[in-house]
Structure formats: C-alpha cells, structure tokens
Amino acid sequence: MTISWYRPATQPRRVAVLSVHTSPLEQPGTGDAGGMNVYVSQTAVEMARRGVAVEVFTRATSSDQPPVVELAPGVLVRHVPAGPFEPLSRDELPAQLCAFTSGVLRAEAFHEPGYYDLIHSHYWLSGQVGWLARDRWGVPLVHTAHTLAKVKNAALADGDTPEPRTRVIGEEQVVAEADRLVVNTAVEAHQLIGLYGADPGAVRTVSPGVDLQRFRPGSQAAARAALGLPRDAVVLAFAGRIQPLKAPDVLLRAAAELVADDPTLRERLVVLVAGGPSGTGLEQPQALRELADSLGIGELTRFVPPQSGENLVHVYRAADVVAVPSYNESFGLVALEAQACGTPVVAAEVGGLPVAVRHGVSGLLVPSHRAGDWATALRSVALDAATHAEFARGAVRHASRFSWARTTDTLLEAYSEATAAFRDAALEVAV
C-alpha cells in the first residue's frame, strides 16, 4: 500500500460514499432500492449538517441523468457512467466495476491530493471499488455490507436463487481489507466474525435510525381515506420489494387462514401490499396476485406501487398491523418506520428484526414462516383491542430510541477510529 498523506484522527472534512448498484435518489420499495438507499441518504444529510461534505458515487442508469445532483446542502450524488444506460441486475454489475472504479478515480484526480478524507462503501460491489480507491488515495475504508451472501444462502426462501460464489469471495476480500466494518446489530457482528473471519477489533455496531419527524402517529381514519380504504376495515399491511426474500406470500397465506377460521372477517379484512418488483424491474409481481386469487382472497388484497414521503406514512398509519415476514433482514427499517407511526409490527424472528421489534412490547416476533403461526400472531395483535392498544404505545416508545442523528454520531466515531488506525499503520510503514 502506498501512503501519500494522512490526517489527524478528527472528524473528516469530506467523505466519498460508494453505492454502485443503487442510488440514494431512487424510490425505495422497487428494483434494488430499499433500506440501504434510506441509510445512505439519511446519514449523508446528517453528516452534512455537522459540516462534513459528502459525495455519493453511484452508477448512471440513464443518459438523462445529470453528472452531479445536489441531494441536500453539502451532499452531492455523482452519476458514474459504467456500462449501458439502463438498470442492470446485480449479477451483471461485477463486469462494470472496472469502468465504475475508473470514473471514481478520475473524479478524485481533478482535485488536490487528500481531497477525500475517508471512503465509506455500501454493499460488496462498492467494497471492491473502495478497496482500490483506498490504496490509491491513501485514506481509510469503512465498509457496510447490508446483507451477506453466506447468511442469505443459509435461509433461502422457496424459489429464491442462491448468491453466487463470486459474491462470497468478493465479500471475503472486502472484509479482509476494510479498516472498519460497520454492522447494524450484534448478530451481524457475530456473523461477520464467525462466517467471514473478520477482525473483531475492526467491527463496529451502528444501529440504523428512523426519521422521527416524518414517521409519527397520526389519524388512522385520514390515512385510510387517503388510500381509499374503509374506515372500519381490519388492515394488514406489507411494504417493500416484492421478492421471495421479503416473503409477502407468508402474509397472504396467513390472511387466508384468518378468513378460513372466521368467515365474517371477509367483510372487513384488507391485505395492503405496497411495493414493486425486485431486480431490474422486468419481473412483475403477477405471481403474488395469482396466489391471492388461488387462496380465495384476491378481492381482499390491494396492491399499490411503492410509496414515498407522506404516502408511505399513510400506509403505516392505515394499518392495524404491519407484517415483516422476511427470511433475512440485516435490520428492518420498515418495521422501525411503522412503529414510529404507532403501528404494531409482526415480524419474522430473523437477522436484525429482534432489535428493530421488541417482542411483546411493540409487536410480536414469529419464529417460523408457517401460515398458521403467522395467522395466530396477526390475530392476537390486530383483533384484540387491548393488545393492539398496548403494542401501539410500546411501538412509539421503542422507535423513539432510534434516530438518524444518533446513528450518524456513532458512525462518525467509527470514522475517527478508522482514521486513527489508518494513520498508525502508515506511521509503522514509514518507520
């Protein structure tokens, strides 16, 4: 490694954030956009408020995209041409990493050495780019995986495709090279150390946050009116990408069991699915519609496109329960956002969801994906008025413990540690 310069372990002036496969400008809930997009945009804005300039590098997917967009004061998003101007699947993106890396290095070359103080890469594809940029620029690399191939492959949903060996190897390389590894929960920290051989001293747990100004309790009646839902309905909601990993089918199967157990529910039950197809957008969620029809609840199921801003708040407030039945979640921002709106959550007991949801206080955790188990949990939360009210209060209290300001404070501490460690290593090389 060539160390051209180094700075004291203080708050960085300018951070290069790498997000190859998805832009913080994209709408979460469709394509490859999800919680990671929210994480990148929210922490970038919070860092800018603290005087840290942030430049996010992401792959250009349209010739109409300007080279640089200001996301917020102090936050720039750079669209790097790499491959065709169209969405690509994550399986296709490794072939474009060379072109993307070249674009990142060229952007830095227009400035004086030391323009960026630190690199933060998100997802393993970005980590590969950050690894090279780190050595070229002589700055520390902080990496957040968001999801891990070995963990996903150990808990595949029916019909899901295993992550390829190339990704596993790529993740192992980034884990070995990064100066700090930021994870969402202690569970993820153990996974990195146990499955990937990460240095425990390099791993830092930084819980994601929630926008408590946007996501807060409000009128359920107004939210239902905005979405065209009956005021007296029993609403079970799902928000997120429609893909096997997120398991929206589990909610549909559980809803069908609820109706089978109590046919009178057919008059009031609404299953609200807010989200779009995963991947490049070429796949359509038609299979989920067909499943609803085959289960006999097609007329009870409402599909709406991914919602942003206040419309997403309407989804959470309108629901009696928000279901998060994923087979794997590094954290589960949807669960946190819903609880901040005062809506209890029923979630799978996987990954970081036991942190995002406090079992028996803000909702329930289900240890399986069996429809009967989910029907039981949903019934106890949505149809028992006393339990629902208790969990609704607990949901707001639990979510209030998380904020993007707190996340960013902890993240900046990790940055300072990474800078100090990188500086010390540089001094050892110099000696």
User: Which residues participate in the annotated binding site?
Assistant: 21, 27-28, 32-37, 90, 123, 147, 167, 241, 246, 307, 316-317, 319, 329, 337, 343
In the annotated binding site for 1D-myo-inositol 3-phosphate, the residues are 21, 32-37, 90, 123, 147, 167
Contact status, residue 334 vs residue 324, Cβ threshold 8 Å = yes
Residues in binding site for UDP-N-acetyl-alpha-D-glucosamine: 27-28, 35, 241, 246, 307, 329, 337
Type of residue at 398: H
Both tokens of residue 51?
């005087």
Secondary structure (3-state) at 109:
helix
| CA angle at 85 for the pair 79 and 89, rounded to the nearest 5° | 95
CA-based max dimension of the chain: 78
Q: Which residue positions form the known binding site for Mg(2+)?
A: 316-317, 319, 343
Burial of 68 per CB tally in 10 Å (0-12, 13-18, 19+): exposed
Nearest C-alpha neighbor of 417 from the set 178, 207, 148, 131: 178
- Using CA atoms, how far apart are residues 88 and 32, in angstroms rounded to an integer? 10
Report the alpha-carbon distance of residue 96 to residue 88 in Å, rounded. 10
Beta strands in 262-324 (DSSP E): 269-274, 301-304, 321-324
Residue 399 burial (C-beta neighbours within 10 Å; 0-12, 13-18, 19+): buried
Are residues 44 and 24 in contact, defined by beta-carbon separation less than 8 angstroms? yes
Cα–Cα nearest to 204, from 230, 178, 185, 182: 182
Helices (H) and strands (E) in the chain, counts: 15, 14
